[in-house]
């Protein structure tokens, strides 16, 4: 009687675990597809920027503000990649200040403009225009980082699916003897390494973007680390590596036991 009850509980547990594992499997498939689509869209955006002259400095008719089709390619950017928030202004506003500056330059005899000394007003407009000018180095670095992080997360989802398949193969066994034979250590190890690599790469990319911005005379890039997001990546990645080590060790013990039988 007790054996029958115990067997029934085990079967119910297997069914519930199988359902949950199926949800994880299909969720990983969906998220991986979204990540690949996001990476492709970022690649298209990168190509459009280069075609629009974004790889060059801002020149008349060239750069981020250049017309693309019926509209204009706006590059106002505020995005978080791997726990680092990049903030770039929209250079389309730069045209307003440069237009004001051209009007001011056409009126050199004016002593005051909008209640300010003409020279002080010109300086203010130039500073405002510079703050909103294109920063191609930072933007291109940001988009490359977005592509890399999307690819990394797609690979994480793929390895989660491999873990799910290994668990399902273990559940389908009649004896449920040992999960250490399911080959879960390798995908877990890859998941951990990828999750740790994402904020590390984003941090290195943010430093590179700041350096390139400085070298190109741009100071309008703001990078803010989101410590909670970075910590989540690192802790979950470290946890995945620890679990992978447990499965490695368990597999070795299992092989030793099998060798004694």
pLDDT of residue 106: 60
How many Å apart are CA 10 and CA 82, to the nearest integer?
A: 41
pLDDT of 2 strictly over 70: no
Q: What is the pLDDT of residues 60-77, one digit of tens each?
A: 333 333 333 333 334 455
pLDDT of 31 strictly over 80: yes
Top-ranked range on mean pLDDT: pick from 69-73, 89-93, 101-105: 101-105
74 and 98 in a single domain? The answer is no
**Inter-helix orientation angle 118-131/94-105, to 10°:** 160
Q: Are strands 84-88 and 77-81 parallel, antiparallel or unpaired?
A: antiparallel
Query: Which of 7-11, 43-47, 55-59, 97-101 bottoms out in mean pLDDT, i.e. has the lowest?
Result: 55-59
Give me the torsion for CA of 187, 189, 194, 200, rounded to 10°: 180
59 and 168 in a single domain? The answer is yes
Residue 79 binned pLDDT confidence (cut-offs 50, 70, 90): confident
Q: Give the rounded percent of residues in the chain with a pLDDT score beyond 70.
A: 63
Residues ≥6 apart with Cβ < 8 Å to 53:
59, 62, 63, 64, 66
57 and 116 in a single domain? The answer is no
> Which of 82, 106, 131 is the endpoint of a domain?
131
pLDDT of residue 201: 93
Burial annotation 83-103 (CB, 10 A radius, 16+ → b, else e): bbebebbebebbeebbebbee
The more confident residue out of 258 and 28 is 28
12 and 96 in a single domain? The answer is no
The more confident residue out of 255 and 195 is 195
Phi, psi at 80, each rounded to 5°: -105, 125
> Which of 101, 131, 161 is the endpoint of a domain?
131
145 and 223 in a single domain? The answer is yes
pLDDT of residue 167: 85
pLDDT of residue 55: 42
Residues ≥6 apart with Cβ < 8 Å to 210:
138, 221, 223
The more confident residue out of 193 and 108 is 193
Start-to-end CA span in the chain (Å): 31
110 and 140 in a single domain? The answer is no
pLDDT of residue 98: 60
Residue 52 binned pLDDT confidence (cut-offs 50, 70, 90): low
Mean of the per-residue pLDDT values of the chain? 75
How many Å apart are CA 206 and CA 85, to the nearest integer?
A: 9
169 and 254 in a single domain? The answer is yes
Give the other-Cβ count within 10 Å of 60's Cβ.
Answer: 7
Residue 142 binned pLDDT confidence (cut-offs 50, 70, 90): confident
247 and 156 in a single domain? The answer is yes
Q: What is the pLDDT of residues 151-160, one digit of tens each?
A: 999 999 999 9
How many Å apart are CA 169 and CA 97, to the nearest integer?
A: 64
**Cα–Cα distance list, 180 to 15, 78, 164, 207 (Å):** 20, 44, 14, 41
How many Å apart are CA 178 and CA 166, to the nearest integer?
A: 12
pLDDT of residue 61: 34
Residues ≥6 apart with Cβ < 8 Å to 54:
63, 64, 73, 75, 134, 136, 139, 140
Q: Which two tokens stand for residue 201?
A: 């790469």
222 strand-pairing partners: 87
What range defines the domain where residue 242 resides? Answer: 2-90+135-260
Q: Are strands 222-225 and 84-88 parallel, antiparallel or unpaired?
A: antiparallel
108 and 217 in a single domain? The answer is no
pLDDT of 229 strictly over 50: yes
């Amino acid at each position: 009687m007790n054996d029958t009850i115990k067997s029934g509980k085990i079967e119910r547990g297997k069914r519930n675990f199988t359902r949950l594992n199926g949800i994880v499997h299909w969720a990983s498939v969906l998220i991986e597809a979204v990540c690949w689509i996001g990476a492709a869209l970022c690649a298209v955006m990168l190509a459009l920027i280069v075609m629009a002259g974004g790889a060059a400095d801002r020149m008349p008719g060239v750069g981020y503000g250049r017309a693309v089709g019926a509209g204009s390619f706006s590059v106002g950017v505020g995005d978080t990649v791997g726990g680092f928030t990049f903030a770039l202004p929209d250079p389309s506003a730069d045209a307003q200040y440069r237009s004001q500056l051209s009007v001011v330059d056409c009126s050199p005899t004016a002593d005051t403009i909008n209640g300010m000394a003409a020279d002080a007003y010109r300086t203010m407009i130039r500073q405002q225009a510079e703050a909103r000018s294109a920063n191609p180095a930072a933007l291109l670095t940001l988009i490359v980082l977005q592509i890399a992080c999307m690819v990394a997360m797609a690979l994480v989802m793929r390895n989660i699916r491999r873990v799910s398949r290994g668990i399902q193969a273990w559940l389908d066994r009649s004896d449920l003897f040992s999960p250490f034979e399911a080959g879960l250590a390798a995908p877990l190890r890859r998941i951990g390494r990828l999750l740790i690599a994402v904020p590390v790469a984003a941090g290195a990319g943010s430093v590179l973007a700041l350096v390139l911005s400085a070298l190109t005379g741009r100071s309008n890039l703001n990078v803010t680390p989101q410590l909670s997001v970075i910590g989540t990546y690192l802790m979950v990645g470290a946890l995945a590596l620890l679990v992978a080590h447990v499965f490695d060790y368990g597999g070795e013990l299992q092989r030793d036991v099998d060798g004694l039988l």
